[in-house]
């Protein structure tokens, strides 16, 4: 196993829980490096799985990575359940507001990478939490999740 693969798997395990690294990154993962020789993007078979944020070294997921993580994590793992009325808007890449949050994983903190799902647990999009889980449930106004990637 290459040191790059080991590194991104450790980051994923830290960020999403033990075993997430293996679920996200297959052994044949390819790496796009920065000019300073740091990992920037991880892909498999030419499709991006994740990007390593330069600011904090954590991962942002593509839809391929989000689908792998969604399949791996048990409920409620990093999921935010979206009200049916808001589904068309988040699918277009619009911000999810707190009043449209039905349920949320209690371990979510602000700035975490999250999976937005509908009431049947179908993955809609991925995004970054702007509020912690308690605030998402209690607030009736304001942005809760900045949508990052949509299926379309």
CATH code at 117?
2.30.130.10
Q: Pick the last residue of a domain from 31, 51, 72.
A: 72
Instruction: Please write the tens of the pLDDT for every residue from 123-141.
Output: 999 999 999 999 999 999 9
Residue 95 has pLDDT above 80, yes or no: yes
pLDDT reported for residue 71: 97
Q: Pick the last residue of a domain from 13, 47, 72.
A: 72
Are 53 and 103 in a shared domain?
A: no
Residue 106's φ and ψ, nearest 5 degrees, are: -65, -15
Torsion of CA 128, 65, 87, 17, to 10 degrees: -60
pLDDT reported for residue 148: 87
Are 58 and 103 in a shared domain?
A: no
Are 131 and 84 in a shared domain?
A: yes
What total of structural domains would you count in the chain? 2
Exposed/middle/buried for residue 44 (C-beta within 10 Å: 0-12, 13-18, 19+): middle
Whole-number percent of the chain with pLDDT over 90: 96
Are 67 and 90 in a shared domain?
A: no
Are 7 and 67 in a shared domain?
A: yes
Instruction: Please write the tens of the pLDDT for every residue from 29-87.
Output: 999 999 999 999 999 999 999 999 999 999 999 999 999 999 999 999 999 999 999 99
pLDDT reported for residue 144: 98
Are 31 and 59 in a shared domain?
A: yes
pTM of the model: 0.91
Domain with 43 in it: 3-72
């Amino acid at each position: 196993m290459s040191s790059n693969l080991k590194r991104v798997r450790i980051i994923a395990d830290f960020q999403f829980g033990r075993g997430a690294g293996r679920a996200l990154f297959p052994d044949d993962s390819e790496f796009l490096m920065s000019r300073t020789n740091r990992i920037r993007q991880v892909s498999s078979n030419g499709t991006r799985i994740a990007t390593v944020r330069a600011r904090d070294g954590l991962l942002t997921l593509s839809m391929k990575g989000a689908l792998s993580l969604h399949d791996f994590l048990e409920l409620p793992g990093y999921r935010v359940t979206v009200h049916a009325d808001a589904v068309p808007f988040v699918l277009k890449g619009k911000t999810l507001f707190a009043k449209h949050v039905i349920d949320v994983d209690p371990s979510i903190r602000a700035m975490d990478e999250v999976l937005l799902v509908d009431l049947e647990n179908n993955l809609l999009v991925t995004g970054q939490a702007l509020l912690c889980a308690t605030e998402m449930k209690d607030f009736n106004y304001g942005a809760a999740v900045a949508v990052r990637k949509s299926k379309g």
